[in-house]
């Protein structure tokens, strides 16, 4: 296995109109370049598809070559490409000993739900590790769903988070649930 100093890392983002085959086309382009997909997240937002990948490959390699090789793939499938070079301190695994919780928010669609909930979490020094929103229900009665995965700071409990969000729950007239994610041992 090559030493970390012999490996380059990049953050690659691809965004565009959703359709079948996007992941296959991008992953084929990366495979052909000899890239390893170390971490990834893909989602559909409305009719748009977005993917973020952390890739690694052996030196020598350049960001310009990565762009040169992937841009035609993205152009062919109608996607926008972004590439950022990552420094060694940005690729260190961010595993945490923190307690991980899921926070769910459901209620009538209204402006400010994401802002108000995340502002309260930031005030408690809670790190958001994943966030997803979706509009469900009907056009006449839209329901907003916000799902957050968070890492609690030392001394913070799920119960304290739930108590802190109780006033906001009443103010926004939404349901808010907080539950600990129990790690599974393998």
User: Domain extents for the chain?
Assistant: 4-91, 100-180
Say what the pLDDT of residue 1 is: 47
In the prediction, which pLDDT does 93 show?
A: 60
Contact 79, 14 (CB under 8 A): yes
pTM: 0.73
Length of the chain: 186
Q: How far apart are CA 163 and CA 157, in angstroms?
A: 10
**How many Å apart are CA 9 and CA 56, to the nearest integer?**
4
Q: How far apart (Å, rounded) are the C-alpha atoms in residues 91 and 7?
A: 11
Side-chain-side CA neighbours of 139 within 13 Å: the count stands at: 0
In contact, 153 and 160? CB cutoff 8 Å: no
Q: Which CATH class is domain 4-91?
A: alpha beta
Number of H helices, E strands in the chain: 5, 8
- Asked if the domains at 4-91 and 100-180 fall in one CATH topology, the answer is yes
SS3 assignment, position 99: coil
CATH level 2 (architecture), domain 100-180: 2-Layer Sandwich (3.30)
Q: How are beta strands 100-108 and 79-86 bridged, if at all? A: unpaired
pLDDT 10s per residue in the chain (186 long)?
445 558 889 999 999 999 999 999 999 999 999 999 988 999 988 889 999 999 998 888 888 889 998 999 999 999 999 999 998 878 766 555 778 999 999 999 999 999 999 999 999 999 998 999 999 988 888 899 999 999 999 999 999 999 999 999 999 999 999 999 866 555
Residues 17-47 as b or e (16 or more Cβ within 10 Å = b): eeeeebeebbeebbeeeebeeeeeeeeeeee
Provide CB contacts within 8 A for 79, sequence distance 6+: 14, 15, 16, 22, 26, 49
In the three-class reduction of DSSP (H, G, I as helix; E, B as strand; rest coil), residue 128 is classed as strand
């Amino acid at each position: 296995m090559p030493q970390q100093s012999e490996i380059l890392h990049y953050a690659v983002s691809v965004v565009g109109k959703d359709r079948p085959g996007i992941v296959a086309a991008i992953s084929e382009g990366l495979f052909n370049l000899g890239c390893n997909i170390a971490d990834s997240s893909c989602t559909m937002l409305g009719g748009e598809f977005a993917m973020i990948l952390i890739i690694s490959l052996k030196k020598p390699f350049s960001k310009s070559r990565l762009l040169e090789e992937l841009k035609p793939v993205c152009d062919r499938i109608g996607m926008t490409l972004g590439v950022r070079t990552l420094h060694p301190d940005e690729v260190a695994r961010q595993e945490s000993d923190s307690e991980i919780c899921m926070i769910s928010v459901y209620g009538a669609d209204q402006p400010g739900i994401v802002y108000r909930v995340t502002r309260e979490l930031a005030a408690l020094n809670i790190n958001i590790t994943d966030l997803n929103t979706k509009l469900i229900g009907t056009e006449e009665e839209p329901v907003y769903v916000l799902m957050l995965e968070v890492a609690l700071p030392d001394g913070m409990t799920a119960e304290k988070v739930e108590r802190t969000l109780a006033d906001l729950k009443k103010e926004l007239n939404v349901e808010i649930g907080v539950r600990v994610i129990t790690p599974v041992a393998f």
